């Protein structure tokens, strides 16, 4: 089995001071990539900052014989995102890989969620992934090569009590992934998303202790490593991954119902079962394919 190597590649990994991001950074560096370890070093709710976590991971990579530099800028500001990408250019002369991983939590039931708590979570996860990728994009386009991973979440794909802000951001990343996959296709830029589950400070209170090893971050990183490798040609997809299991998640459309003489509310009521059928489903590769399905139905 040939080993997946990253020699000559430069990767930026956000939020890589601990948890999943740290694991991604260690693994890509061990496989030959030069890595920018970004981490603001704040608390789980996004408050505060520290240079410690990013520096510690860089030290660990260097001790293992790899190459890495630390960056402690904030993914949630345009200046921070620019500075993160600039760190890669200054230290290693280019950027090939972006893993958007930085994240915070501000969980509240919807009734109690303040608008600021919504905005802060969107700012880091969704806007932060936009900003960092946007800063890298001209460089990826120019060299006609890029691999980008977004970090979504099952909470966004399937919904989760108390996470209206987080789930909105995480599902937003799926739309961003699909659109950037379309815009990057011409430039050999592949953009995919993972929806992980792992034992980190973000989840340690959710899982029973016996799952600590079974859900180690090490069991998520291999999917990221494959998605950002040059031999991966897939793009625009989302994969759940955790505990060594990995599966594609897809947005599909059921066969639907088409009114023969217009569509009245009563037609919708009377055909509700057919409208909710999931088989056979259409897995449209892009909006064009979905629109064609409508055109076919009404012609
Ligand atoms: P973590 O809390 O261990 O790591 C997140 C890192 O992001 C922290 O080191 C933090 O300092 C950094 N960070 C936060 N805001 C930042 C900012 N504005 N700029 C730069 N760095 C910032 O959490 P974990 O679990 O490793 O999460 C990584 C990603 O995976 C997050 O996007 C999270 O939402 C996602 N995720 C994790 C799941 C899990 O089961 N652990 C489940 C689903 C998604």
Nearest CA to 249 out of 218, 223, 229, 230 is that of 223
pLDDT, averaged per 10 consecutive residues of the chain (299 residues), comes to 96 98 98 98 96 98 98 98 98 99 98 98 98 99 98 98 98 98 98 98 92 96 98 98 98 96 96 98 94 92
Per-domain boundaries in the chain: 10-249, 265-298
Rounded to 5 degrees, φ, ψ at 41 are 75, 25
What's 10-249's CATH class?
alpha beta
Q: Which atom of ligand 1 is nearest to the CA of 44?
A: 2
Look at residue 75 in the predicted model and tell me its pLDDT. 98
- What would you report as the CA-atom Rg of the chain, rounded to the nearest whole angstrom? 21
| Cα–Cα distance measured from residue 152 to residue 174, given in angstroms and rounded to the nearest whole number | 7
Q: Among candidates 154, 148, 150, 124, which has minimal Cα distance to 215?
A: 154
Let me know: does 227 contact 248? Beta carbons within 8 Å. no
- Cis before 219? omega within 30: no
pLDDT value, residue 1: 83
Asked if 85 and 99 count as a contact pair (C-beta separation under 8 A), the reply is no
ipTM above 0.95 for this complex? yes
Neighbours of 152 (CB within 10 A): 29
Among residues 145, 166, 187, 239, the one annotated as catalytic is 166
165 Cα to the center of ligand 1, angstroms: 15
Active site residue 145: no
Q: Could you tell me the distance, in angstroms and rounded to a whole number, from the CA of residue 124 to the centre of ligand 1?
A: 10
- Site residues for ligand 1, CB cut-off 6 Å: 14-15, 17-21, 38-42, 44, 46, 53, 74-76, 101-104, 124-125, 128, 151, 153, 196-198, 200-203
Q: Specify which residues 69 forms β-bridges with.
A: 36
Q: Are 14 and 35 in contact (CB under 8 A)?
A: no
Instruction: Give the end-to-end CA distance of the chain in Å, rounded to a whole number.
Output: 51
pLDDT at res. 299: 87
Estimate the crossing angle of helix 164-184 against helix 115-122, to 10 degrees: 30
Determine the distance separating the centroid of ligand 1 and the alpha carbon of 180, expressed in angstroms: 22
Measured in angstroms, how far is the CA atom of residue 93 from the centroid of ligand 1? 27
């Amino acid at each position: 089995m040939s080993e997946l190597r990253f020699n000559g590649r430069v990767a930026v990994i956000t939020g890589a001071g601990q948890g999943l991001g740290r694991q991604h950074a260690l693994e890509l560096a061990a496989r030959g990539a030069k890595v920018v370890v970004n981490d603001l070093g704040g608390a789980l709710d996004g408050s505060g900052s520290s240079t410690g976590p990013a520096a510690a991971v860089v030290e660990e990579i260097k001790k293992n014989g790899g190459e890495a530099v630390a960056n402690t800028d904030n993914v949630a500001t345009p200046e921070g995102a620019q500075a993160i990408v600039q760190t890669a250019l200054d230290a290693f002369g280019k950027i090939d890989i972006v893993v958007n991983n930085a994240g915070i939590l501000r969980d509240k039931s919807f009734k109690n969620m303040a608008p600021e708590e919504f905005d802060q979570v969107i700012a880091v996860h969704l806007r932060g992934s936009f900003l960092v990728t946007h800063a890298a994009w001209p460089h990826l386009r120019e060299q006609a090569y890029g691999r980008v991973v977004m970090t979504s979440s099952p909470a966004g794909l399937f919904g989760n009590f108390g996470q209206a802000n987080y789930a909105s951001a995480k599902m937003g990343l799926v739309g961003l992934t699909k659109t950037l996959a379309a815009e990057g296709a011409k430039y050999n830029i592949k953009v995919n998303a993972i929806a992980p589950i792992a034992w980190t400070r973000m989840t340690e209170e959710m899982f029973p202790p016996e799952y600590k090893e079974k859900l180690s971050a090490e069991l998520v990183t291999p999917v990221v490593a494959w998605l950002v490798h040059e031999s991966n040609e897939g793009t625009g997809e989302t994969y759940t991954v955790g505990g060594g299991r990995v599966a594609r998640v897809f947005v599909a459309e059921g066969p639907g119902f088409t009114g023969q003489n217009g569509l009245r509310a009563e037609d919708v009521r009377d055909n509700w079962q057919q409208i909710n059928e999931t088989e056979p489903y259409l897995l449209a590769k892009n909006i064009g394919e979905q629109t064609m399905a409508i055109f076919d139905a009404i012609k």
